Amino acid sequence: MTDATLYMHDNTPLEFKRGGRLDEFTIAYETWGTLNQDKSNAALILTGLSPSAHAASSPEDPSPGWWEPMVGPGLPIDTDRFFVISLNSLGSCKGSTGPASICPATGQPWRLDFPDLSVEDIAAASSRVVTHLGITQLCLLVGPSMGGMSTLAYLQQNPQGARHYLNISGAHKAEPFSIAIRSLQRELIVSDPQWRDGQYDDRDWPEKGMRMARKLGMLSYRSAEEWRGRFGRREQNYFPTETFGMNYEVESYLEAAARRFVGSFDPCSYLYLSRSMDWFDATENHPNLTSALKGIELQSSYVLGAKTDILFPPYQQEAIANALSENGIKTACSILPSIMGHDAFLVDHDHFGPNIAAYLQRVLHEDGLDHQGDA
């Protein structure tokens, strides 16, 4: 990882929801801004499936982060006010313990011997980082995409864990259409002959399967409307055209994007994280979501989504907002008219930036943090 990455090594065992445990584990994280004296200005970001902890650049690591226009001094998640923590999910491969890590007992990568990972385990490991930093209660919890799931699990596990909550393009349970997409992505990977039942060579990953899975992912992350305007029927001349190969620019765009992704993400980590989302259902053991979120003591929450999101469709954000509201939490919900689909929160800052900034200004004001640190 980079110079900005910090590591929490935890020797207290982590019991997994579905059985199995880690006797010790590591979570990679980064922070921005300064934790104030009473430790009341912490904001924790739990990420989507693939990001590292590097949400934004910093003097220690000037490379752009995955949420660069959202996190920084004067930006919507204002690092002049918030002490921002972003971490790499348990199970991922960007510095945190996951199937690609070395299993201490064998000296070999965990791979398929890694315990069955749930979103709830990601939340539990994340909570350890907050404790590790001496923070009792977050000012703000932020979760986009898969983070919209893991932050819900976080709040279920820690009902007093945060005062304010920002859920972006999230869902409280996996629905069959999204399950079908992710299931097919996993099938593409394990059908690649290089997969070798998880014993793939570290220099010979199931790259073709990963590339096709990433393309399918991108089909679910964006929208027909965006691509219509962006690519139309323009032909491609970037890649050689093979039999039944690429003819149009949209195809070469997907190929290039998939190639960038592949090789940077461990296949086994991808499979574990992907499956954890299918398994997630915050209403498990509850008659409904309102009951499932009962007891959570937030002061406010804001739930956002994009109207063109087909992977985490808007009715899922509305369901979360309704349930929070029915629990007496001051909640706002915005389904933004973005054409950028599920990825809108990453790329459509014109729609997401101002809405998030306005909410967080109110949060800071409410908590008396809006001038703290000013000279």
Strand duo 21-22 + 25-32: pairing: unpaired
DSSP code for 298: -
DSSP code for 299: S
Of 101 and 178, CB closest to its own copies = 178
| Catalytic status, residue 334 | no
Exactly one of 17, 54, 94, 173 binds its own copies (CB under 8 A); that residue is: 173
Q: Please tell me which residue in 10, 192, 266, 309 is annotated as part of the active site.
A: 309
296 Cα distance to chain centroid: 21
Residue type (1 letter), 350: D
Per-residue mark of binding to its own copies, 128-167 (x: CB under 8 A): ----------------------------------------
Q: Which two tokens stand for residue 322?
A: 């309704």
Token look-up 């007496």 returns: 328
Q: Collapsing DSSP states into helix, strand and coil, what is residue 54?
A: coil
How many other β-carbons are positioned within 10 Å of the β-carbon of residue 118?
A: 23
198 contributes a contact to its own copies by CB under 8 A: yes
Distances (CA, A) of 18 to 114, 116, 151, 156, 219: 12, 6, 19, 17, 31
Give how many residues touch its own copies by CB under 8 A.
50
Strand partners, 166: 142, 302
Of 165 and 312, CB closest to its own copies = 312
Exactly one of 12, 63, 159, 177 binds its own copies (CB under 8 A); that residue is: 177
| Catalytic status, residue 145 | yes
C-alpha R_g of the chain: 20
Q: Which two tokens stand for residue 333?
A: 């919900």
Report the site for its own copies in 259-278 (rule: CB under 8 A): 271, 275, 278
Report the site for its own copies in 310-329 (rule: CB under 8 A): 310, 313
Q: Please tell me which residue in 145, 178, 252, 274 is annotated as part of the active site.
A: 145
Exactly one of 251, 343, 348, 367 binds its own copies (CB under 8 A); that residue is: 251
374 contributes a contact to its own copies by CB under 8 A: no
Exactly one of 103, 179, 257, 357 binds its own copies (CB under 8 A); that residue is: 179
Exactly one of 17, 54, 81, 186 binds its own copies (CB under 8 A); that residue is: 186
17 contributes a contact to its own copies by CB under 8 A: no
117 contributes a contact to its own copies by CB under 8 A: no
Report the site for its own copies in 95-114 (rule: CB under 8 A): 112
Strand partners, 335: 305
Phi-psi region for residue 217, left (φ > 0), alpha (ψ -120 to 50) or beta? alpha
**Cβ neighbours of residue 248 under 8 Å, at least 6 residues apart?**
231, 233, 234, 235, 236
Report the site for its own copies in 276-295 (rule: CB under 8 A): 278-279, 281
235 contributes a contact to its own copies by CB under 8 A: no
Angstrom distance (rounded) from CA 162 to CA 65: 24
Which one of 18-26, 55-63, 191-199, 299-307 is the stretch in contact with its own copies (CB under 8 A)?
191-199
How many other β-carbons are positioned within 10 Å of the β-carbon of residue 257?
A: 15
Angstrom distance (rounded) from CA 238 to CA 227: 18
| Catalytic status, residue 164 | no
Residues that bind its own copies (CB under 8 A): 112, 173-181, 183-184, 186-191, 193, 197-198, 208, 212, 215-216, 219, 223-224, 227-228, 230-233, 243-244, 246-251, 254, 271, 275, 278-279, 281, 310, 313
The catalytic residue positions are 145, 309, 342
